[in-house]
Amino acid sequence: MNPGEINGVMLQYFEWYQPPDGTWWNRLTEEAAALASAGFTALWLPPAYKGSAGGYDTGYGVYDHFDLGEFDQKGSVRTKYGTKDEYVRAIEAAQGAGLQVYADIVLSHKIGGDFEEEFEAIPIDPEDRTKALGDPRPIKSWTHFEFAGRGEKYSTLEWHWWHFNALDHNGFEPDENVIWLIEGKRFQDDVDLDKGNADYLLGNNVDINSEDVRKELFHWGEWYVETTGVDGFRFDAAKHVRAGFFLDWLEHLREHTGKDLFALGEYWSYEQAALEHFIDRTDRKIRLYDTKLQDNFSRASKQGGDFDLRQVFDGTLVQADPQMAVTLVTSHDTQPLRTIDASIEAWFTPLAYALTLLRRDGYPLVFIGDYYGAEYTDVGHDGNEHHIVMPSHQWLIDRFLAARRDHAWGEQYDYFDEPTCIGWTRQGDDEHPGGLAVVISSGDDGVRRMQTGASNTRFRDTTEHVGDEVTTDDEGWAEFRCRAGSVSVWVPAADPQPS
């Protein structure tokens, strides 16, 4: 097991709308020690290489994988987050504080080519990628990536149209709403079946069947680990790339770098069979987000007392295969106004984090926008502009992190017997005696009679939502309460309260 996972907690250390001022890596250097002290054990950092929008790009619009904020390309030297030196220094600071560091990488596409090229391609229905809409015809698109600002440093390969298999722009027919499948190419097998074949996502779709491309991505991966020292990777858009390629790439890096690299895939699907297929195809080497659990949280937050909390784990990856599940509440893709319409109402956010941070199964993820809060304006799914304020839940999450570190050990007993009020206890172990008790209500004030691992022991609510202490009986039983629409986390009262 990766050191960052031993009762560990991952923090997504970025959100989509943070200012593009180039200070992010320096901020991490300053905050790393405090984050480790709070109870985080690993950080997921944003894509660190140059995107097509230069210093404004989140990194998902990949231009040059080798430019970590070192070369004058796309209008800036730095990326949105800072320079290469600042990035490396931030990783060293995080690791020095005891944190694992996972790099976000995009292998599915490239955007922002330097020159147009002409070649032949077939128009494909974007809603059914198995359906051609015509015969091959000449097109032109921005598929030549010269990387003039970097030159031949780190790599001599320039990318051309033959390094891709499909794209979404034709300069001869710019208004045509089709995907262009390059003549002589094919979509990859062993991808998600969304829209017939999910190989294509956006921009210039990388052809991983190309020998040049495979050699380049393997070389880049080795260079990246050796240059940055990261401890693992988060694979973006995993459903859009042949599953076996991720395994090949990861095993190559592990062999050539000697590091037991952690791996997490973003396979956003609510089909359990699709997740299980990916896990099987990658030999259980790549964990996945529990997308169904996140969707359950979203629905519970919007339905309130009409959602049956006893079913919150139904159909989830953490229920079916807990070792492979990364449990999340929010991410940059699900925060309000973003691409996946599965945001979570603020009242339910602490309840959701209790359900991930204080239970036995899964590798929990905390989103920085939930931790520090976020404020931004963007156009929503309804076409209108909205101003969003995501409140900070840091105070409560810090209490959960402390309770997880000190008390969330040992056997877990569930008390899921009321549709709007559920609870569970952790019994503790020899090194963490006493355990804890958690009560959640989506309706009125709640109470659950539950058994702990500590007899005749006073418990207090570390969230301070309930002020009175409770004392367990000779067999460790007591009635534990919580407020309406809230959560309470009961820990032995003799332990000091977190500051």
pLDDT band (50, 70, 90) for residue 65 = very high
Mean pLDDT for the stretch of residues 423-435: 94
Please check whether residue 255 lies inside any domain of the structure.
yes
234-255 pLDDT per residue, tens: 999 999 999 999 999 999 999 9
Q: Could you say which of 352, 383, 402 is where a domain stops?
A: 402
Q: Which of 64, 86, 207, 236 is catalytic?
A: 236
pLDDT in tens, 214-239: 999 999 999 999 999 999 999 999 99
Residues 129 and 165 sit within 8 Å (Cβ to Cβ): no
> Using 50, 70 and 90 to split pLDDT, how confident is the model at 3?
very low
Q: Are 195 and 138 in contact (CB under 8 A)?
A: no
179 is a domain residue: no
Which pLDDT value is given to residue 5? 54
- Structural domain span for residue 45: 3-109+211-402
Give yes or no: residues 391 and 445 share one domain. no
pLDDT score at 494: 83
pLDDT band at 497 (very low <50, low <70, confident <90, very high): confident
CATH number of the domain bearing residue 317: 3.20.20.80
How far is 231 from 225, CA to CA, in rounded Å? Answer: 8
Q: Are residues 384 and 461 in the same domain?
A: no
Residue 130 lies in a domain: no
Give dist(CA 460, CA 462) in Å, integer.
6
Residues 88 and 7 in one domain: yes
- Domain stop point among 354, 378, 402: 402
Mark whether 265 and 351 lie in a shared domain. yes
Question: What's the pLDDT tens digit per position in 290-300?
Answer: 999 999 999 99
Q: What is the tens place of the pLDDT at every residue in 395-424?
A: 999 999 999 999 999 999 999 999 999 999
Q: Is residue 371 in some structural domain?
A: yes
Residue 77 within any structural domain of the chain: yes
Whether residues 394 and 470 fall in one domain: no
pLDDT confidence band for 212 (50 / 70 / 90): very high
Res 145: pLDDT? 98
Whether 266 sits among the annotated catalytic residues: the reply is yes
344 found inside a domain: yes
Residues 474 and 367 both lie in one domain: no
Q: How confident is the model at residue 6, as a pLDDT? A: 59
Q: What CATH number does the domain containing 451 carry? A: 2.60.40.1180
pLDDT of 341: 86
In this predicted structure, the answer to whether residue 2 has a pLDDT above a threshold of 90 is no
Q: Give me the sign of the Cα torsion angle 203, 207, 211, 216.
A: positive
Q: What six digits make up the tokens of 441?
A: 């209500």
Are 61 and 25 within one domain?
Answer: yes
250 and 275 belong to one structural domain: yes
pLDDT in tens, 337-348: 998 889 999 999
- The pLDDT, as a whole number, for residue 331 is 96
Q: How is residue 144 written in tokens?
A: 């030549």
Catalytic pick from 216, 266, 290, 361?
A: 266
- Are 332 and 353 in a shared domain? yes
| Number of folded domains that form the chain | 2
In a domain, 63, yes or no: yes
Instruction: Check if the beta carbon of residue 358 is closer than 8 Å to that of residue 364.
Output: no
Q: Which of the pair, 383 or 364, is modelled with greater confidence?
A: 364
* Residue 18 located in a structural domain: yes
**pLDDT > 70 fraction of the chain, expressed in percent and rounded:** 98
| Angle ∠(245,248,252) on CA atoms, nearest 5 | 140
Reported as a pLDDT band with limits 50, 70 and 90, residue 159 is very high
Q: What is the pLDDT of residue 396?
A: 98
For residues 114 and 118, give the distance between their C-alpha atoms in angstroms, rounded to a whole number.
14
Same domain? 421 vs 309: no
Please report, in angstroms and rounded to a whole number, the separation of the first and last CA atoms in the chain: 31
Label residue 203 by pLDDT band (50, 70, 90): very high
End position of a domain, from candidates 350, 384, 402 = 402
> Across the chain, which distance is largest between two alpha carbons, in Å?
82
Model confidence pLDDT, tens digit, residues 280-337: 999 999 999 999 999 999 999 999 999 999 999 999 999 999 999 999 999 999 999 9
Same structural domain, 350 and 463? no
- Give the rounded percent of residues in the chain with a pLDDT score beyond 90: 95
Claim to verify: residue 316 and residue 417 sit in the same structural domain? no
Instruction: State mean pLDDT over 362-376.
Output: 97
